[in-house]
Amino acid sequence: MKQSYILSILFVTILFVAISVLSCSNKDTNVETIILLSNLNEAQLDSSWTLLNIIKIYPKQKECNKSKKYANLYICSKVSNGDTVYVFEECEKVSHLAFDTIHNTVVVNKDNVRVPSSDKITVFVPINFKIKSNIRYFSAKLGFLNEY
């Protein structure tokens, strides 16, 4: 009787753990997604540079190679007017400074704006990610205020 009670508790525990793992495993899963730049509008710098506040970061999950390029996607708001701007940072590692939730202001300067390698950008975003219509974007390497 005592042994069957222990087995029942063990079974319930294993079942609970399995259900927890399965239900949590897909919540933060990002999928490889191709974004057509022709559906977006290129953003303009405020002057020779533009200040942005990072709202959300979707880091690339694969390394770039000769045949395939991947980009970090930063969803930002322009400091000057609050407009939402996407920043695609191709083949770069996300700086640890980007995750600073207190000082999340970044710089896009004219020297860091890049011509995308293609009219398509590959990013990793949630499966239900929707691109807002008429969104503006930069293809650039971000700079951080404490680097200047």
pLDDT tens-digit readout, 3-33: 565 545 544 445 444 444 444 444 568 999 9
Helix (H) or strand (E) holding 144: strand 143-144
Are the beta carbons of 128 and 28 closer than 8 angstroms?
no
As given in the structure block, the two tokens for residue 128 are 């239900």
CA distance 124 to 140: 17
Question: Mean of the per-residue pLDDT values for the chain?
Answer: 81
Strand ranges in 12-140 using DSSP code E only, listed in sequence order: 30-36, 41-42, 49-58, 71-78, 84-90, 105-109, 120-126, 136-139
Give the tens place of pLDDT for each residue, 55-92: 999 999 999 999 899 999 999 999 999 999 999 999 99
Each residue of 30-62: b (16+ CB within 10 Å) or e? Answer: beebebebeebeebeeeeeebebebeebbbbee
Q: pTM of the entire structure?
A: 0.77
The pLDDT of residue 21: 44
C-alpha to C-alpha distance for 4 and 128, rounded to whole angstroms = 45
Q: What is the pLDDT of residue 26?
A: 47
